């Protein structure tokens, strides 16, 4: 049985008393792809992952992984998933190797197979030197790598990565991304939760933005970016007089101006024609440009414009 | 993938047993690696035994029947006190697991969840047996002597194992319910301390006030102590043997399902 969608979530709801954490989430993850669940703290990301990995009961909707119902066939689900990140942990008093072998055995691997696989993962994750030290002596990055390695011990076809790089330094984060990319090449289906837009942009095939327990946008990184706005040409001039003449010359093309910094931005529909026509218009009016740059909307723009409430909060915090 | 993975094909009950064995191995490694706790396990009972025999031995010796030395009288009491306190580390270990997210990891695996509780309670038997052994050796070194025969010793070992298991499972309930390790320590202090001291562990019941004596002579820990003491001193065991076994089995019959139920309830939301 190989369905196209490995993870299917329909109308998922979950409440704690009057606190409605999930208000009807729909998700579908295609086999061999990565879906990033992007959202601020408290959006419901971890709750969703905990439900998908059978750790938490839900109130309404339906949730299946590899066609198995997470409530009625929890054991079958557990046999095909690996969970790592915020929701899971390694044993601190056991060594890296002992952790791997134990988890492998608990996944029903034979002792011999678990040992061989543990060695392979220790090598792949650059943990060979630390293999026989207790996990509590590991650095943050090493611990995350061990955590991920542990969830891969039986090569489950579905992996949940719950904020795998939160709190890591940039170097460890890049190392983690490299490992995750390799994992994607092996055809594993992955659900990643993150609050980092760059992470979703770098890794995911598809992004679902959730906020306040609801899906507020979904699509590829490019689709989301184009929802927020088109590419823009940012032009900087020498003084306000030059800016004024430029605005006159460009006419309706001007989307926005900044009179303090003498900049004007022009919306670009087609990068091949619109940039040259704008520059031609300026040349005809003898307005000289000091500098220019093409600005593509980032996922940060997407995120902030979609999660308006969050934006308000951050602004408030900055004001304080 | 460089290699082919090989999976076990056991039936469910066998697999549940394998899971429990893995968890026992894990908890035992914890006991060995937790050096500070391990030192406490050995030195606390030795210290108690030496202090009690040297400080109280003279005074309490007067209240003992003729021909009974306090060193021999005390041994059963100290063993049971050590076991009762020792079992509380089950609560600490389980509480630690619940707080640190490792239980969530286990629950996301296709394993028997109750193996976690089995692992802690059974590995506790190893540690407690070890500390009892250390104490008996210390006793022998300072002049403890017993007339116990081989079968008496089997009885003593049986009681030690049964009592430890029963107390570990009670302790497991505390570990599942407690919100923090500090909470566990506080709870055990309030429960285990009075229970072991308001018994015949250190002094004979005859020296107590009537109300305290009535409680002390009929509570489970006293039955366990008196049964073991009779085997050590070679005195008649009376109904203590049966009562000790019945109390321990009763505690197990209640605490295993309660701890299991609470564990399931607390770990699924």
User: What pLDDT digit, counting tens, does each position of A258-306 carry?
Assistant: 888 899 888 888 878 888 888 999 999 898 899 988 887 777 777 777 7
**Contact in structure between A59 and A72 (CB atoms under 8 Å):** no
Answer yes or no: are the C-beta atoms of A278 and A233 closer than 8 Å: yes
**pLDDT given at position B269:** 61
Name the domain count of chain B: 1
Which fold, A230-295?
Alpha-Beta Plaits (3.30.70)
Mean pLDDT of A244-269: 87
CA A201 – CA A260 distance, rounded (Å): 33
3-state DSSP of chain B: CCCCCCECCCCHHHHHHHHHHHHHHHHHHHHHHCHHHHHHHHHHHHHHHHHHHHHHHHHHHCCCCCCCCHHHHHHHHHHHHHHHHHHHHHHHHHHHHHHHCHHHHHHCCCCCCCHHHHHHHHHHHHHHHHHHHHHHHHHHHCCCCCCCCHHHHHHHHHHHHHHHHHHHHHHHHHHHHCCCHHHHHHHHHHHHHHHHHCCCCCCCHHHCCHHHHHHHHHCHHHHHHHHHHHHHHCCCCCCHHHHHHHHHHHHHHHHHHHHHHHHHHHHCC
Instruction: Assess A19–B contact: CB distance below 8 Å, yes or no.
Output: no
Residues contacting A58, CB < 8 A, separation 6+ = A12, A13, A14, A22, A51, A71
A113 reaches B (C-beta below 8 A): yes
pLDDT reading at A128 higher than 80: yes
pLDDT recorded at residue B268 = 73
Of the candidates A87, A108, A134, the beta carbon closest to that of B7 is on: A108
For A88, the closest of B18, B101, B269 (CB atoms) is: B101
In CATH, the number for domain A5-225 is 3.40.50.300
* Spatial separation of the C-alpha atoms in residues B80 and B163, rounded to whole Å: 8
Mean pLDDT of chain A: 87
- Measure A78 CA to nearest chain B CA, in Å: 5
Interface probe for A, chosen from B103, B110, B119 (most Cβ of A below 10 Å), is B110
Asked if A87's CB is within 8 angstroms of B101's CB, the reply is yes
Cβ–Cβ contact A52 with B under 8 A: no
| Minimum CA–CA partner of B35 in chain A | A93
Q: What is the ipTM of this complex?
A: 0.87
Give tens-digit pLDDT for A21-69.
999 999 999 999 999 999 888 889 999 999 999 999 999 999 999 999 9
Question: Which residues in B lie closer than 8 A to residue A102 (C-beta atoms)?
Answer: 22, 25-26
pLDDT in tens, chain B (269 residues): 456 788 888 888 899 999 999 999 999 999 999 888 888 888 888 888 889 888 888 888 888 887 888 889 999 999 999 999 888 889 999 999 988 888 889 988 888 878 999 999 999 999 899 889 988 998 999 888 888 899 999 999 999 999 999 999 999 999 999 988 898 888 878 888 888 989 988 888 888 899 999 999 889 999 999 999 999 998 889 899 999 999 999 999 999 999 999 998 888 76
Residues in A closer than 8 angstroms to B30, CB to CB, are 93
A311 or B227: which leads in pLDDT: B227
pLDDT at A310 over 60: no
* More confident of the two residues B39 and A2: B39
User: How far apart, in whole angstroms, are the C-alpha atoms of residue A8 and residue A28?
Assistant: 5
State residue A317's pLDDT score: 39
The confidence score (pLDDT) of residue B2 equals 54
- Residue percentage of chain A with pLDDT more than 70: 94
Residues A134-150 pLDDT 10s:
999 999 889 999 999 99
What is the least distance, in Å, from the CA of B120 to any CA of chain A?
A: 14
* Domain residue extents for chain A: 5-225, 230-295
Task: Let me know if residue B255 belongs to a domain.
Answer: yes
Residue-wise pLDDT tens digits, B9-37: 888 889 999 999 999 999 999 999 988 88
Rounded to two decimals, the pTM is 0.82
Q: Which residues of B touch A58 (CB under 8 A)?
A: none
Cα first-last separation, chain B: 36
Tell me, yes or no, if A70 comes closer than 8 A to chain B by beta carbon: no
Q: Please name every residue paired with A65 in a beta bridge, in sequence order, or none if there are none.
A: A7, A68
Q: Which residues of chain A neighbour B101 with C-beta distances below 8 Å?
A: 87-89
The partner residue sitting opposite A89, judged by closest CB among B10, B26, B105, is B105
Q: How far away is chain A from the Cα of B110, in angstroms, using its nearest Cα?
A: 5
Which of B15, B33, B108 is the closest to A83 by Cβ?
Answer: B108
pLDDT in tens, A148-199: 999 999 999 999 999 998 888 888 889 889 999 999 998 999 999 998 888 9
The pLDDT, as a whole number, for residue A308 is 64
- Domain range enclosing B149: 17-267
| Chain B residues with at least one Cβ partner in A under 8 Å | 1-3, 5-8, 10, 15, 18-19, 22, 25-26, 29-30, 33-34, 100-102, 104-111, 268-269
Q: In the prediction, which pLDDT does A119 show?
A: 96
Q: Which two tokens stand for residue A39?
A: 């959202």
> CA nearest A190: which of A215, A166, A210, A164?
A164
Q: A with B: how many residue pairs have Cβ under 8 Å apart?
A: 95
Decide if A200 contacts A38 (C-beta within 8 A). yes
Residue A90: its chain B contacts at CB < 8 A? 102, 105
Beta-bridge mates of residue A291? A236
């Amino acid at each position: 049985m190989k369905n196209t969608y490995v993870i299917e979530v329909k109308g998922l709801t979950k409440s704690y008393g009057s606190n409605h954490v999930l208000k009807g989430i729909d998700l579908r993850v295609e086999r061999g792809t990565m879906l990033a669940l992007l959202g601020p703290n408290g959006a419901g990301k971890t709750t969703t992952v905990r439900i998908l990995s059978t750790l938490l009961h839900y109130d309404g909707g339906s949730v299946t992984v590899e066609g198995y119902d997470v409530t009625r066939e929890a054991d079958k689900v557990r046999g095909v998933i690996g969970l790592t990140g915020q929701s899971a942990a390694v044993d601190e008093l056991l060594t890296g190797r002992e952790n791997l072998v134990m988890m492998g055995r608990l996944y029903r691997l034979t002792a011999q197979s678990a040992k061989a696989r543990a060695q392979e993962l220790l090598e792949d994750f650059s943990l060979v030197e630390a293999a026989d030290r207790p996990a509590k002596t590991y650095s943050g990055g090493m611990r995350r790598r061990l955590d991920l390695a542990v969830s891969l011990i039986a090569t489950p076809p579905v992996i949940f990565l719950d904020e795998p790089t939160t709190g890591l330094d940039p170097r460890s984060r890049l190392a983690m991304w490299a490992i995750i990319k390799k994992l994607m090449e092996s055809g594993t289906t992955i659900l990643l939760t993150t609050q980092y837009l760059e992470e979703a942009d770098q890794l995911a095939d598809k992004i679902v933005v959730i906020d306040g327990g609801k899906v507020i946008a979904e699509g590829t990184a490019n689709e989301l970016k184009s929802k927020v706005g088109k590419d823009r040409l940012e032009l900087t001039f020498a003084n306000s007089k030059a800016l004024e003449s430029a605005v006159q010359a460009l006419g309706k093309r001007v989307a926005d101006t900044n009179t303090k910094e003498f900049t004007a931005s022009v919306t670009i529909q087609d990068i091949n024609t619109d940039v040259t026509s704008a520059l031609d218009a300026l040349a005809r009016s003898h307005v000289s440009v000091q500098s220019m740059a093409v600005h593509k909307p980032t996922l940060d723009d997407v995120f902030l414009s979609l999660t308006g409430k969050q934006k308000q909060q951050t602004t408030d915090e900055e004001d304080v | 993938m460089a290699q082919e993975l090989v999976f076990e094909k056991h039936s469910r009950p066998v697999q549940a047993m394998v899971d429990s064995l893995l968890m026992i191995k894990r908890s035992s490694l914890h006991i060995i690696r937790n050096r500070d706790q391990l030192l406490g396990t050995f030195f606390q009972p030795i210290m108690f035994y030496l202090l009690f025999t040297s400080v109280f031995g003279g005074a309490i010796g007067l209240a003992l029947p003729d021909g009974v030395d306090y060193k021999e009288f005390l041994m059963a009491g100290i063993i049971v006190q050590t076991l009762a306190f020792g079992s509380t580390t089950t609560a600490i270990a389980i509480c630690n697991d619940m707080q640190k997210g490792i239980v969530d990891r286990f629950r996301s695996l296709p394993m028997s969840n109750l193996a976690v509780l089995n692992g802690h309670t059974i590995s506790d038997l190893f540690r407690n047996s070890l500390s009892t052994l250390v104490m008996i050796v210390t006793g022998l070194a300072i002049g403890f002597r017993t007339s116990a025969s081989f079968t008496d010793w089997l009885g003593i070992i049986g009681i030690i194992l049964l009592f430890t298991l029963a107390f570990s499972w009670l302790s497991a309930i505390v570990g599942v319910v407690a919100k923090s390790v500090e909470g566990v320590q506080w709870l055990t202090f309030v429960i285990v301390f009075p229970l072991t001291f308001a018994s015949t562990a250190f002094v004979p019941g005859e020296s107590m006030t009537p109300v305290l004596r009535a409680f002390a002579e009929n509570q489970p820990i006293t039955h366990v102590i008196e049964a073991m003491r009779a085997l050590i001193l070679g005195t008649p065991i009376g109904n203590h043997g049966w009562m000790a076994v019945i109390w321990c089995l009763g505690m197990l019959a209640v605490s295993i399902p309660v701890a299991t139920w609470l564990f399931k309830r607390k770990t699924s939301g």
